[in-house]
Amino acid sequence: MGGKAALLLILGFSTIMLMFGLNMNRVSTNAVDNSSNYFENEMAKEISRSGINLAASNLSRNHSWQPSDNYDYLGEDNLKITVNESGGIKTVTAVGSYKGISKLIEVKISLASFSEYAYFSNIEGDIWWTATDSVWGPFHTNDKIQVQGHPYFNGPITSHGGAIKYYTDKATDEPTIQGTYLPGTTINIPTDGITNLSQSAASSGYVFSGHSQVFLQFDGDSIKYKYNSGDPYVTVLGTDLAPNGVIYVENGNLRIEGTVKGNWSVGSNQNVYLDNDVVYNDVPDYKDKNDASNDLLGIVSKNDVIITDNAANSSNINVHAAIYCETGGFTAENYKTRSLSGTIHLIGGITQYERKGVGTFIADKTKKIPKSGFPVKDYKYDNRLLKKVPPYFPSTNTFKILSWLE
């Protein structure tokens, strides 16, 4: 009897201890499961991110790249990439799988245009961004950003070297940057941006050739042109002259002025001169990227875009346009010797190979004393350029991310 009781007692205790042990094991296992599930989720997500990076890298080299079959990333066939295009927007999707868990990342990208930049330069030269300078909108330089006395940048900034060059030291000169700062980014100005414009002008725009200079005046729906300053203007309906909105001067300088209505790109494989104000008929609220104004102008020059030294430009100039200088820069004619000409009021953006001067100052330890040209720059970025592009404006050949979903 005593033996049976002892046996039952031992069996009972063993059962209780076993159940207790199982429970403890379950809790421990669940804790590990919890941790490993999180890890597996993250791994699947990282594989998807790798897929997006892989696609972006290939698309940057070949814009029509399509992924092959599934990829192997830490497993077999555990990364699938698809690239679809609709309305100029590419949708890149990557599905990464790890231990039975799948994660999808979807990124929308589109080709970026130089018109999106508030300021772009390849070479900054010996010109410094100073305390009175501010840039609103996307900024890029393939050179160093040279700063003196806390200039202000509002918008995403990218630069090639990543180095910010301080005039004195960081404490005295560090810029305020409101926006993303991505050093180590190179965006080359193409050598054929102007060629693409000339081809589109030849196909369904208008090409002026055989003239050393062409005077073009925007006048609402009409466009007036002539070949010599003393000639009378020939007036035509803009849409009849260039249905696709592109006007190009082959082997001659283009001289423009007037009031722009509609979407236009004008260019020359030499220089473009601004003989007077070039303004929009419906001036947009430059801060509003969704402004309803449908007027948009791109000025594309192989060399320089130059503010003419004339009576019309002797007291301020208004320019509403996205400006592109493929091998030159935006400058003022005789800026070192012309009389003080007031302020450049720009609504748009400037892309230039080399930063050039528009005025000079007398050096002074405490302040800048204007000496010649345009001492004051009132550059306002037209936020519509984040979404709208003047017809056939040169592309950066790089993709920009519109949205990233994961």
Partner 1 sequence: MGYSTLLDIIGAMIIGGLMILSINTINQTASENSGRYNSDLISQQNLVSIVELLEHDFSRIGYCENPDSILSPEEMITYADSTKIKFWTDIAVSKINFRGDGTKEELIYELGPDVNATPNPNDKLLYRYVSGTVKDASNLGITEFRITYFDNMNNKLSHPIDTKLISYMQIDLRVEDCYGYDTDNSDKEHVEKFPTVFWRQIRMATKNMSR
Comparing CB distances to partner 1, the nearer of 11 and 234 is: 11
Query: Which range, of 34-42, 142-150, 219-227, 246-254, touches partner 1 by CB under 8 A?
Result: 34-42
Residues 6+ apart with CB under 8 A from 194: 267, 269, 300, 301, 302, 326, 394
Residues 6+ apart with CB under 8 A from 62: none
Buried b (16+ CB within 10 A) or exposed e, 44-56: bbebbbbbbebbb
Rule CB under 8 A: is residue 41 a binding residue for partner 1?
Answer: yes
Least distance (Å) between residue 289 CB and partner 1: 8
- What gap in Å lies between CA 235 and CA 243, rounded to an integer? 16
Rule CB under 8 A: is residue 67 a binding residue for partner 1?
Answer: no
Least distance (Å) between residue 403 CB and partner 1: 5
Q: Where are the alpha helices (DSSP H) in 102-237?
A: 170-173, 193-204
Rule CB under 8 A: is residue 168 a binding residue for partner 1?
Answer: no
Taking CB under 8 A as the criterion, the residue among 94, 145, 177, 256 binding partner 1 is 177
Rule CB under 8 A: is residue 35 a binding residue for partner 1?
Answer: yes
Least distance (Å) between residue 264 CB and partner 1: 23
Least distance (Å) between residue 26 CB and partner 1: 9
Least distance (Å) between residue 405 CB and partner 1: 6
| Element spanning 223, H or E | strand 222-226
Taking CB under 8 A as the criterion, the residue among 28, 57, 209, 337 binding partner 1 is 28
- What gap in Å lies between CA 106 and CA 104, rounded to an integer? 7
Question: How does strand 234-237 pair with strand 222-226?
Answer: antiparallel
Q: Which of residues 116-135 bind partner 1 (CB under 8 A)?
A: none
Number of residues that bind partner 1 (CB under 8 A): 40
- What gap in Å lies between CA 352 and CA 127, rounded to an integer? 14
Q: Which of residues 93-112 bind partner 1 (CB under 8 A)?
A: 104, 106-108
Least distance (Å) between residue 130 CB and partner 1: 19
Least distance (Å) between residue 377 CB and partner 1: 22
Residues 6+ apart with CB under 8 A from 346: 319, 320, 321, 377, 378, 379, 380
- What gap in Å lies between CA 377 and CA 318, rounded to an integer? 11
- What gap in Å lies between CA 41 and CA 98, rounded to an integer? 8
Binding mask 276-305 for partner 1 (x = CB under 8 A): -------------x----------------
Chain centre distance of CA 311: 35
Joined tokens for residue 132: 């009175």
Rule CB under 8 A: is residue 314 a binding residue for partner 1?
Answer: no
Residues 6+ apart with CB under 8 A from 293: 280, 282, 283, 284, 384
Rule CB under 8 A: is residue 369 a binding residue for partner 1?
Answer: no
Rule CB under 8 A: is residue 163 a binding residue for partner 1?
Answer: no
Q: Which of residues 220-279 bind partner 1 (CB under 8 A)?
A: none
DSSP state of 163: P
Buried b (16+ CB within 10 A) or exposed e, 165-179: ebeeeeeebebebee
Least distance (Å) between residue 202 CB and partner 1: 32
Taking CB under 8 A as the criterion, the residue among 128, 152, 181, 361 binding partner 1 is 181
User: 3-class DSSP state for residue 325?
Assistant: strand
Least distance (Å) between residue 313 CB and partner 1: 33
Q: Is the dihedral of CA 96, 97, 98, 104 positive or negative?
A: positive
Q: Taking a C-beta distance cutoff of 8 angstroms, is the pair 29, 390 a contact?
A: no
Comparing CB distances to partner 1, the nearer of 287 and 336 is: 287
Comparing CB distances to partner 1, the nearer of 37 and 315 is: 37
Rule CB under 8 A: is residue 400 a binding residue for partner 1?
Answer: yes
Q: Which of residues 371-390 bind partner 1 (CB under 8 A)?
A: 383, 386-387
Rule CB under 8 A: is residue 18 a binding residue for partner 1?
Answer: no
Least distance (Å) between residue 345 CB and partner 1: 23
Query: Which range, of 28-36, 237-245, 253-261, 310-318, touches partner 1 by CB under 8 A?
Result: 28-36
Joined tokens for residue 248: 């190009």
Binding site for partner 1 (CB under 8 A): 13, 20, 23-24, 27-28, 30-31, 34-35, 37-38, 41, 89, 104, 106-108, 154-157, 174, 177-182, 289, 383, 386-387, 400-406
